[in-house]
Structure formats: C-alpha cells, structure tokens
Amino acid sequence: MKLTDFAHLKSLPGPEDTTRVVLPNGITVLARANYDSPSVVLNGYLTSGSMYDSDEKAGLAHFTASALMRGTQKRSFQQIFDALESVGASLGFGASVHNTSFGGRALVEDLPLLLELLAECLTEPVFPPEYVERLRAQHLAALAIRAQDTADMASLTFDRILFPDHPYGRSEEGYPETIQSITREDLLSFHQKHYGPRNMVIVIVGGIEPQVAVTQVQEKLGNWQNPNQAALPELPAIHPPEKMLRNHVHIPGKSQCDLVMGSLGPCRNSEDYLPASLGNNILGQFGMMGRIGNVVREQEGLAYYASTSLNAWIVGGSWEVSAGVNQTNLERAIELITKEIRRFITEPVSQEELEDSQSSFIGRLPLSLESNAGVAGALLNLERFGLGLDYLRRYPKMVAEVTSEMILEVARRYLDPERLVIAIAGTLNTAN
C-alpha cells in the first residue's frame, strides 16, 4: 500500500460537511447528514463525571447517571421506556472520569421525541426512592462479581497504584462501602451542582439536514440554564512512578492470575500519541497480539492471552501490558514481558513492522466510519479532545509521517523497565 496517496480518503468527515454550532446556553451541537439512512444516531456528554466524586462517595456520578431514566417530573420509569419502545428508539446514560455520556438512536421522524426524552432525563430527574434502592442493589451485586474477577481486580489495582490521589486511580463504579453510603439526597445534590448546559456536547448523524438537527436541539434544550453549575475542577498533577511498584490481590480459588503491568502514557491530544499508538500496535496488538503475544503466548505458551493497550485521556494516560497466566508461570511471564519492553526501548522497530501498522491504521479508518454510530463517535472524540474537525482528513498523512525513531523516542519517554507498576490478581502462590 502506498502511504503517500490519500486521495481516496477525501470522503471522510471534515469541516465543510460537518455543522458545528454553539448555542447561547453553552451547548455545542455537531451534525452531519447521511441521506442514505432513514435513522439518526445521537451521542453526547456533559462534564459531570467521577472527577467530582469524593473518596467517601466514590461511584456517585455513576449512580446518578444510572438513575436518570428511572423517572422525571413528567414521566414515570415505565412511561419513558414505553415511549422509546413505541417508536423502536433507544436511549442510555453512563459515566466516566470526566463526563456523563449519553447515546441513542431513532428514525429521523422520531428525533424530536428522542431529544424530548433526553431533555427530561437531564433536566428533570426525580430519582424515585424505590428505584434508587433497586439500583443500589444492582450496583452492589456488580461490585461483588467484580471482586471475584481477576482481570477487573488487576486493572483496578494497577490504576490505583499508577494514579495515587487522582480521579484516574479511583473506581468510577465506586466500592461497596461508598455505594452503601450514597443517599437519594446525594443524587439530587450532585445533579443540581454538576448537570448543566455549559461544556455539554451533542452529536447527531443520519438522514437529517444538519441545520434542522441543530434547530431541534435548540427547541428541546436551548432554554436549559443552571447558574449554579460547578466549574471544571483543577485535577492533581500526574507523576511517573519513582521505582518499581508491585501489588498482588489475593482472590482464593483461582487457577488463573491476571496481570497488568506498565506505566504512564500520553494524553490524547499530545504529539506523542500517534507514535505511541503505532508503537503499541507493534508491541502488543498487531497480528497475534504483537511482539509480546508472540513471545509470551505463542512461543513460550505461558499465557492464555497477552497484549498491550494505550489508554489516552484528557490530562494523562496509561501504557499497559495485560496477560492471563497460570500462577506457576507468573514470574516467568513478567520476566519475558519486561525483556520485550527493554528491547522495545533499545532498538527501533523494523521498517516492515512500521509499514504494516501504518497500513492497518490508515486502512481501517474508513471502515470505522461506515455507520452513523461510527461517525458520531468519531466527531464526539474530535470535540472532546480538541483535535479539530479536519483531524480525520489529516490523520492518514500524520500516521504515514511517523518514523521508527519517533516510536523509539516516545517509548523511551514513557516505558522504564525499572519503574513499572505491576498489579496481579488471583490466588497468591507463596512459592512466588
């Protein structure tokens, strides 16, 4: 594949075919037409995530988001779902560190109803006591299941160690004791303080004229105001580990240990992100889970799976290796993974590895944008990370310009084998 010829990618979403309007109350609306589709996808977020949770009420943002559709001042829980079901539409909410997100879909003619329901849930939730208690029971059940899941517990432990005293290191879903302590009044207070139109983003993609979509958002949400909406918090600085840190969470009766090891990674809008992303693909994703998967799983047969991930957020990120191993193979697997990381920061990746990854990144971009949902998700990320509406057009060229030396430089900046965080969950083998 010639990486210098991107003419066939001119159909990707760009500034000339994507409408972006900021409403007077602060809501940013992005809309793009796909007239071949009879439906629309709606995605968006508010800046009301778990970064506002206290340690004592961890999980409050998540709990609040999950309760939004349980009843509003105009409709009961059943009436909300009957309205959606009657037109074959969907709507849902979730919470992450920075945001409360929402997403839905409907036929074009039913977008006004979808927006009406969205507006009601965001502006007029009543958090009925009986549903608050049902949700509490569901959350506690999910946390009990999580406590027995070695992969989840290794990941949770890794984040806690890598991001001490930071929202990135705290569970967005909370912990049993914090979920038990959350009251209905806490939900009402969190909603009043942190839900509002400022910094809210809505993306609509599908068979509708963009300006019509903007007008419909204006009609349903344009009058929303919350003068008491809290300002964005100043998050603590993130520092890399000063030494290797290791923790083993003992979960009795498990034959498999799950392992997460790694360090900090770049934030999403960093210049380091693309070289790191291509490097991560080579290290532990491409083909049979990259170099690490090839050595640890294929050649040595030590792991059920072994791969890497690059997680890039607004103010930081992580570069992780994950593996599932029999506890008797744990130390050998850690040794081999560390050896591969040392090689990765010592010698440049080969030109063949680089070009294979570049071709993969460039080739799969149009595929990811074939659906309304794919386009909506991409536009939402462009806005979230301030990448610009022309980013998708620039992306192939930026990927093609990454060199082996750039990957090596970025790997050395973030991956230090002497200062890795190692989190393990499973039955503790005293022989290890």
Report residue 205: phi and psi, to 5°. -130, 130
Q: In whole angstroms, give the CA distance from residue 304 to residue 78.
A: 44
Find where tokens 């969907």 sit. 90
Q: Report how far apart the first and last C-alpha atoms of the chain are (Å, whole number).
A: 48
In a shared domain, residues 50 and 170: yes
273-284 helix and 404-414 helix, angle to the nearest 10 degrees: 90
Residues 249 and 380 occupy one common structural domain: yes
- Could you say which of 187, 221, 255 is where a domain stops? 221
Q: Which residues are CB-contacts of 276 (< 8 A; sequence separation ≥ 6)?
A: 265, 266, 310, 312, 319, 407, 410, 411, 414
pLDDT at 11: 81
Which domain range does residue 252 map to?
A: 245-426
> What value does the mean pLDDT take over residues 37-52?
97
- On the question of pLDDT at 336 being above 90, the answer is yes
Q: Are residues 197 and 270 in the same domain?
A: no
Helix (H) or strand (E) holding 206: strand 201-206
The stretch 260-280 carries a mean pLDDT of 98
Q: Are residues 206 and 289 in the same domain?
A: no
According to the model, what pLDDT value does residue 137 have? 98
Q: What is the CATH number of the domain that holds 113?
A: 3.30.830.10
Q: What is the pLDDT of residue 1?
A: 45
Is 217 found in the same domain as 88?
A: yes
In a domain, 109, yes or no: yes
With respect to residue 235, please indicate whether it lies within any of the assigned structural domains.
no
Residue 431 in any domain: the answer is: no
Given 175, 205, 221, the domain boundary residue is 221
- Whether 232 shows a pLDDT value over 70: the answer reads yes
Average pLDDT over residues 188-204: 98
Position 5 scores a pLDDT of 56
What value does the mean pLDDT take over residues 27-42? Answer: 97
Tokens of 338: 């560390």
CB atoms within 10 A of CB 25: 16
Inside any domain, residue 239: no
CA–CA gap between residue 323 and residue 150 (Å, rounded): 11
- pLDDT value at residue 361: 96
Q: How far apart are CA 329 and CA 334, in angstroms?
A: 9
C-alpha to C-alpha distance for 265 and 411, rounded to whole angstroms: 9
Whether residue 301 lies inside any domain: the answer is yes
Task: Reply yes or no on whether the pLDDT at 432 is more than 60.
Answer: no
Torsion, CA 405, CA 408, CA 413, CA 418, rounded to 10: -150
Segment 124-137, tens digit of pLDDT: 999 999 999 999 99
**What pLDDT is stored for residue 333 in this prediction?**
94
pLDDT 10s digits, 298-324: 888 888 999 999 999 999 999 999 999
Domains of the chain: total: 2
Residues 317 and 421 in one domain: yes
Together in a domain, 308 and 386? yes
In a shared domain, residues 133 and 93: yes
Residue 59's CB: how many other CB atoms inside 10 A? 24
**Mean of all residue pLDDT scores within the chain:** 95
The residue type of 15 is P
Residue 200 shares a structural domain with residue 115: yes
Flag whether 52 is in a domain: yes
- Structure confidence at residue 6 (pLDDT): 59
Phi first, then psi: give them for residue 74, nearest 5 degrees: -105, -25
* CA-wise closest residue to 66 among 92, 96, 105, 98: 92
Please check whether residues 405 and 304 belong to one and the same domain.
yes
Residues 108-121: pLDDT tens digits? 999 999 999 999 99
**Same domain as 329, residue 250:** yes
Is 4 contained in some domain?
A: no
What local confidence, expressed as pLDDT, does residue 297 receive?
87
Instruction: Report which residue type is found at 431.
Output: A
Instruction: Let me know if residue 113 belongs to a domain.
Output: yes
pLDDT, tens only, 399-415: 999 999 999 999 999 99
Q: Are 351 and 308 contained in the same domain?
A: yes
- Please write the tens of the pLDDT for every residue from 140-168: 999 999 999 999 999 999 999 999 999 99
